Amino acid sequence: MVMSDKRDYYEVLGVEKSASESDLKNAFRSLARKYHPDRSTEENAEDKFKEIQEAYAVLSDAEKRAQYDRFGHNGPSGSPFGGFGGGGGFNINLEDILGGDFFSSMFGGGGGRSNRRRGNDIRIIHTVSLLDIYNGSTEEIELDLPTQCEPCGGTGAEGGETKTCSDCNGQGRVRMRQQVGPFVQDVVRECPTCNGAGQMSASSCSPCDGTGQTTKATTLRFSIPAGAEEGTRLRMRGRGTPAPQGKGQQGDLFIEIEVEEHPWFERSGPDLIMSLPLGYADLVLGTSITLEHLDGKDLTIKIPSGTNSGETLEIRKRGLPGRRSGGRGDVIVLVKLHMPKKVNKKTKKALQEVKDALAPSDMVERIKQDAKDRRS
């Protein structure tokens, strides 16, 4: 007897050998939705889907299941399943098992849907400054946006006169038989002749060339909320593409916020982060730096004497407004030692004197003390 290298069918479906018909169906439904090759992003989804189909086709058939339980994959006279696994399709209703919504979302079909469709959404990117985010702002832009053609009412037909599509009888949907893996499935899809509208134009409208849409210069006004995040989308309902043939709801316009780079600030939530390169003397003796902040007021950064490179200083409540927590974030300053690329002889001599004065008498002891400070 030649042993099969196929996985156990019960293991494939993740059920016990005592599983009921309902258990099998539920397991298959869950796995098929996960691994269907037209929707899944899983690796080797097609192979896994075929394996799941094969397992369910056998175990859902009482006679084949009985033979499989007795002989496994190596039944008498070769395969006990009557040519199972060959090129023929299984007469199983996938729509009944997976649900009509599964195929509707894949193929754009679905029984009982209205012919009234929605226009496409439009997305634009609008760039603002960090100052706009700090204070919030009111913006105004001009765009050429699609609008419904007035002469034809969006139908694309001359004078708005349309006729019923003969292929779908005005339903906008047609039923088609489709092969999904080894399964044969009846699915409902958008009518390709009328693009799901159910109506067709007798002759095309001249102003819009039969598209049902024209463009119009439009002024949009909207507000940028203070503290808005990069990628925030503002929605303007009904400003997107008109519905096909003027039947349905117009799509929406989404304005995605992009924040332009600031000369020295970077953002982390409501906090503003910057680095401050200072000389050795500034770190040893301490210093004070004043910059103009986003609000137009002075931002004073005080560096205590003995500050180490890599330390951070916080200036409370001078960051961006917090969208969730309320209040304002902080300004966080990363102190860095600035190393000059070139120094003159006079400066080198002065630095040598400082080096000699500050040199440790015992470097090993300094290393030990630094480790102790770091661990405390």
Q: Does the structure show a pLDDT above 80 at 311?
A: yes
Q: 39 lies in a domain?
A: yes
Percentage, residues of the chain above pLDDT 70: 84
Would 64 be classed as within a structural domain?
yes
- The amino acid present at 325, given as its one-letter code, is S
In a domain, 123, yes or no: no
Q: How far is 96 from 49, CA to CA, in rounded Å?
A: 17
Query: Quick check: is 51 in a domain?
Result: yes
How far apart are the C-alpha atoms of 206 and 156, rounded to whole Å? Answer: 9
- Identify whether 239 is part of a domain: no
- Confidence at 176, pLDDT banded by 50, 70, 90: confident
Q: Where does a domain end: 59, 86, 113?
A: 86
CATH (domain of 316): 2.60.260.20
pTM for the structure as a whole: 0.56
pLDDT at 109 over 60: no
Which of 32-41, 92-101, 184-193 shows the lowest per-residue confidence on average (mean pLDDT)? 92-101
Q: How many domains does the chain have?
A: 2
- Tokens of residue 323, six digits: 């969208």
Residue 106 inside a domain? The answer is no
The domain of 300 spans: 266-375
Is residue 221 in some structural domain?
Answer: no
Beta strands in 2-152 (DSSP E): 122-128, 137-148
Q: How confident is the model at residue 54 (pLDDT cuts 50, 70, 90)?
A: confident
**pLDDT of amino acid 329:** 93
β 271-278/266-268 pair status: antiparallel
What CATH code is carried by the domain that includes residue 67? Answer: 1.10.287.110
Q: Pick from 66, 86, 106: which residue ends a domain?
A: 86
Last residue of one domain, picked from the residues 86, 108, 134: 86
> Among 7-11, 152-156, 161-165, which range has the highest average pLDDT?
7-11
277, 156 Cβ separation under 8 angstroms: no
> Where residue 301 falls among pLDDT bands split at 50, 70, 90?
very high
Residue 47 counted as domain residue: yes
pLDDT of residue 107: 44
Least confident of 22-26, 120-124, 249-253, 366-370: 366-370
Give the residue carrying structure tokens 């060959």: 86
